[in-house]
Structure 1
Amino acid sequence: MAPGRPGAAGRAFSTTLRTHVRRAAGREPNPLGRRSDAQRSRLVVALTVALLLSFALTLLAALAALRVGQREARYEGQHRHRVTATTVAAAVADRTGSRSGVGGFHAQAMWQFPAGVRGSGPVAVASAAPAGTEIRIWVDDHGRRVSAPRPGTEIATTAVLTGTGTMTLLSGAAFAAYRLGKRRIDRGTAAAWAQEWEGVEPEWSGRPRRRPEFGDQ
C-alpha cells in the first residue's frame, strides 16, 4: 500500500477540525447530533488551541533562554581572559575532593594578570609535567582562576532543552485535561444512554415495565 501524502493528511486534518469547530458552535446541520457530540467537539477544539499556545510558549521560552545565554556569553567573553601559567613544581596526583579541577594531576603554577599582578594556584596538568611547564588557563579581570566561557553549542543545547521541557510540561497538562474531560463526558453519555434504554427496552423485548415501588425516588 502506498504511503499517504503529507498534503492529503493535512487536508483531512483541516477538514476534521472544521467539522469539530462547526459542531462545537452548534452550526452542524445534523439532526442526529447529540449534546455529547458537541461537548466532545468543544473538547477537541480546546485541546487544539491549548497545543498551539503551548507551541508558541515553547518558542518564547527557548528564545528567551537563548538570549540569556548569549548575553552571558558576551559578558564572559569581555571579562574572562586566557593567560599562560607556568608550573613551579612537578605534577602530583589529585586527592579525593581536590579543587584543582579535572585531569587526574595538578601542579602549583604562577601567572601574571593584570599587568604587574601575580596570581598562583593549582592547575590541571599531564601526569609527567615537570616544573616550568606552560599551561593555558582562564582568569577574570582580577586575575582569579575561572572556567572557560561557555561555547555556543552549550548555549544552544540549553535553549533546546528549555523549549523541550516547556513543551512537555504544557502539552502534558493539556492532554491530561482533555482525558479528564473526555472521561467525564463518556460517563454522562453512558448514564443518559442507560436511562433512555430503560425506557425503550421493554418496548423492544415485550418485557413489562417495572412499576415504581414505595420508597423509589
Structure 2
Amino acid sequence: MHHRSPAAGGNPLRRDADRTRTRLRAAFALACLLAVTCGVAVGRTAWTDAGRDAAEIARHRHSVAAVTVGETTHRAGDGPSTRPVTVARATWRDHENRIHTETVPVPVVTRSGDTVRLWVDDAGQAASAPPGTPDIALNAIGLGTGAAGAVALAAGFALYARQRIVDARSAQEWEREWESVEPRWSGRLRPGQGAGDD
C-alpha cells in the first residue's frame, strides 16, 4: 500500500489514481468552460463579420417591381435535397431605366401580368436578397456551437484516453498488492512457498 500518500487530515484509503481522477474531472470542467468561451468568441466574430458583409451586400442590392410576362413553371433546386423553385419570365427597369427580362423565382400563385418584388444588383440583374438578421444569427450560432463542440470533444477524448491509462495502471497496482496480501488473507500457499514460509 506504498502508493497511498495521505495529506494531513486526508483519507488514508485515497490512492494516487483517485487523486488523478479528481484532477481529470476538474480538467474536463475547465475544458467545458474553455469550449463555451471559444464558442462565444467564434459566434461573436461570425456575427460581426457576417453583419459587416451583409451591410456591404445590401449597399449593392435594390428592390424593384417586376411584371411577369409568362406562366409559372417549376425548376429543380440547386442541390439534390432542395425543393423545386417556382419561376416565371419577368421584366423590370433598373435605376438607369434600362429594361431587363429574366426568368426569376416567384410565389407559387403568381400569374402572367402580376407584379412581384425582386432584388437586383447594381447592374440591374436579378440577385438574391441581402442576408437578414435571422440568417446572420443562425450562421453565428452554428459556427459558435460547432467551435464549442469541437473543443469539448477534443478535450473529452484526450481526458478519456488519460482516464483509461490511469484505470489500467490502477488495476495493475491492485493486482500486485492483492498478490502480496491474498495468500495470508486466504491461508492458501503461493506456488513455491512451504508451510513454514512467511
TM-score, normalisation: structure 2: 0.80
The answer to whether the 8 A contact 1:85-1:136 is kept is yes
- Secondary structure at the aligned position of 1:119 is classed as strand
1:94 to 70, 74, 87: 74
Q: Percent identity?
A: 31
Once the 2 structures are TM-superposed, how far is the Cα of residue 35 of structure 1 from its aligned partner?
Answer: 1.6
Tell me what 1:114 maps to.
95
- State the alpha-carbon separation in 2 of the partners of residues 113 and 27 from structure 1: 81
Aligned length: 182
2:34 pairs with 1:53:
yes
Once the 2 structures are TM-superposed, how far is the Cα of residue 103 of structure 1 from its aligned partner?
Answer: 5.1
The answer to whether the 8 A contact 2:66-2:92 is kept is yes
- State the alpha-carbon separation in 2 of the partners of residues 174 and 204 from structure 1: 43
Once the 2 structures are TM-superposed, how far is the Cα of residue 28 of structure 1 from its aligned partner?
Answer: 6.5
The answer to whether the 8 A contact 2:67-2:116 is kept is yes
2:45 to 59, 64, 71: 64
- State the alpha-carbon separation in 2 of the partners of residues 147 and 31 from structure 1: 67
Can you give the 5+ residue segments of structure 2 that lack an aligned partner in the other structure? Answer: 1-5, 194-198
The two structures, once aligned, show a CA RMSD in angstroms of 2.6
- State the alpha-carbon separation in 1 of the partners of residues 38 and 8 from structure 2: 32
2:147 pairs with 1:162:
no
Tell me what 2:119 maps to.
138
Once the 2 structures are TM-superposed, how far is the Cα of residue 27 of structure 1 from its aligned partner?
Answer: 6.0
Tell which has more relative contact order, 1 or 2 (C-alpha 8 A, sep 6+). 2
Distance 1:34 1:135, change over 3 A: same
Letter paired with 2:105:
A
- State the alpha-carbon separation in 1 of the partners of residues 75 and 26 from structure 2: 61
- State the alpha-carbon separation in 2 of the partners of residues 28 and 47 from structure 1: 27
TM-score, normalisation: structure 1: 0.73
